[in-house]
Amino acid sequence: MVLTLLVSAYKLCRLAMASPETLVAVPVYEGMWAQSPGPYPEVSPGVSTDIQAALHRILPELHQAISAIKQAAGPKDLQAGMAEILALVEEAWVIPTVGREVAKGLCDGIRLEGGLDLLLSFLQSADLETKCQAGKLLEQVLVAENRDRIARIGLGVILNLSKERENLQLARSTSGILEHMFKHSEETCHQLISDGGLDAILYWCRWSDPVVLRHCATALANCAMYGGQANQRLMAEKRAAEWLFPLAFTQEDQLIRFYACLAIAVLATNKEIEKEVERSGTLALVEPFIATLDPGQFACTLLGSSDNSQGRTADDLQRLVPLLDSSRLEAQCIAAFYLCVEATIKARQKKTKIFTEIGAIQSLKRIVCYSPNGTTSSLAKKALCAMGEEVPRRLLPTVPNWKPLEVQKWLQQIGFVKYCPLFLEHQVDGDLLLRLTEEDLKGDLGMDSSITRKRFFRELTELKTYANYSTCDRSNLSDWLGSVDPKFRQYTYNLVTCGIDRNFLHRVTEQQLQEDCQVDIGFHRVRILNAAREMLHSPLPYSNGKAILEGTDVFISYRRISGSQLASLLKVHLQLHGFSVFLDVEKLEAGKFEDKLVQSVMSARNFVLVLSSHSLDKCMEDAECKDWVHKEIATALSSGKNVIPVTDHFEWPDPETLPVDMRAVLKFNGIKWSHEYQEATIEKIIRFLQGRSSRDSSAGSENSLECGPPMGQT
């Protein structure tokens, strides 16, 4: 046992020596670690005194606690021993600056002492309290090496545990364990998805417990980010995009919303499932939500949670860079925000070099220069400032219209100041810039070095890819090329100046693309021409406005402050049963809000009214019909919609307190929502959606629904 302790101490010392940043002095920490430890054990020179104190304190206590567990006489002793270790782990994670290193050493010690194997055996116990306590502890110690161990010998135990879904305490720890295991590897993700782990997470997405929902949102984000494209496809097949909607729509917890938005944004970058993800409606929630957040405040929120107390590792942050480089605005936006938050954290720790190491700087600068989205560009600027990097000037997006002065500014920004005089002498404007050839650069503009010309064309290709061609591209060819492959937008100007538009592209030959349009890469030519020919046989998608005019199956009316979760659950359930559903956050994006609202209610075939706690209070004495819920109900009644009230902790008001134009809603039976039996409740709602009226003429009949009394009745 002494040897085991020495191994633990040695590993922790090596870890500390590998991180020079941990030598920074930190404030005195108030807690058990601040107690006087007495003489320190002999450790390698250079280890900070904070880690020395933690080592001296933690290893004997850990050894004693694990020994006590091994000798426990019964469940109570087991639970007490696990609670003692859990307290050590939780306090280690939140030690300022060095907490990650100390906690990792503690987690390593638990594994080396055989603690993980013990916990796996306790998770199979018949005693529920023991099982719950073991789950809580295992969730807290799943660092990388411990995830390896669980993946090798304990994944079956975790999957069996995920089948016990109804106990709240067990669901909290199991969802937390799954959250960590989805980070392990693509193979582990595949096994978890195939054997029911993802099913459990998606089942819990319909719950209201914030701890479980936070684990679910983070688990789905981890699965999307670490699982690879094949597992993302499986997530889409399991309808994860739809079940992310209630998490991204919740008003209760910003972290739940954030990780749900991160998950859906990552899924959207997979071209194979992009259209399915868009149809879920969840993607539309990302940018508006991110725009409401303050990176500095959100950094404080992350620092307050034990698993984020020192920010993310380089490996975690590396996975955000492809999101910055993707063609999806939502992915760029949330990645820029996340890096801005992490830059705030790392700046306090003096660890901003990590962003150069992972290659995020250039991607952020490109977003500042080219992004058409103000929120994303602003976040990228803030991130660069927090990292101590120079912030480039934003470039005018309409490159074809650039004057020579704009070209000069661009040359300065990309580091080609030396060539500015020759470009100015030849009056190179945006049009000429986009058509420059290698011969032009070498013969007229003085770029003799082939390496310099390659560097220049790399920058020019990026400029062509992100330029705005709306002034010359009447058929929106650039966006079509981008839908085939984002990098194909670089060919837009060459095609447009040859007189080619979307309607004519399928008639172009491969030779013409190469010789006239300078599409030099043969594989690119083949892909563009194949896509153009397929376009002939594909119907054009309807615009959002037309879809609204044609109507949806269901309009859901709800009070945002108390009914948003139920409204989002109803949306998902009904969509999964094949109904088209309207929720204002998704489709009221343009035009006057009131006009769009009335139009959407009138065009829907059914009107589902979510009656949550106090949801009609604002309607009372609203004589001028200024309240949105009042307006929606009155419109539905006046246009003869099939009104289906769904109640959740709702108190029926006196009908005399409601405005006259909405009292007719009292004639409809309400369906009482059951969180425990959601599918059964949905089946009742569907019966009304499929043609049966919910008016109170059926109340009291054998077929009447199990619901509250008609409104206004006692």
Q: Which amino acid, residue 392?
A: P
Q: Would you call 632 a catalytic residue per the annotation? A: yes
Q: What is the 3-state secondary structure (H, E, C) of 552-621?
A: CCEEEECCHHHHHHHHHHHHHHHHHCCCCEECHHHHCCCCCHHHHHHHHHHHCCEEEEEECCCCCHHHCC
Alpha-carbon distance of 648 to 613, in angstroms, equals: 7
Asked if 51 contacts 379 with a C-beta cutoff of 8 angstroms, the reply is no
Q: Which residues lie below 8 Å from residue 544, measured CB to CB, with a gap of 6+?
A: 587, 589
What single-letter DSSP state applies at residue 541? P
Closest by alpha carbon to 565, among 35, 217, 206, 124? 206
Residue in the structure block whose two tokens are 């859906």: 264
Compute the 3-state secondary structure of the chain and give helix, strand, coil in percent, each to the nearest 5: 65, 5, 35
Alpha-carbon distance of 506 to 526, in angstroms, equals: 11
Alpha carbon 587 to its chain's center: 20
Residue 642's H or E segment, with its range, is strand 642-647
Bridge partner list, 554: 581, 606
Alpha-carbon distance of 326 to 332, in angstroms, equals: 7
Asked if 666 contacts 653 with a C-beta cutoff of 8 angstroms, the reply is no
Alpha-carbon distance of 165 to 169, in angstroms, equals: 10
Alpha carbon 328 to its chain's center: 13
* φ/ψ (deg, to 5) at 598: -60, -45
208-245: b (≥16 Cβ within 10 Å) or e: eeebbbbbbbbbbbbbbbbbbeebbbbbbeeebbbbbb
Q: Which residues lie below 8 Å from residue 494, measured CB to CB, with a gap of 6+?
A: 434, 435, 517, 518, 519
What single-letter DSSP state applies at residue 668? B
Q: Which of 550, 632, 656, 676 is catalytic?
A: 632
Bridge partner list, 555: 582, 607
Bridge partner list, 608: 556, 644
Helices (H), 23-165: 49-70, 75-93, 99-112, 115-122, 128-140, 144-153, 155-162
Catalytic residues: 632
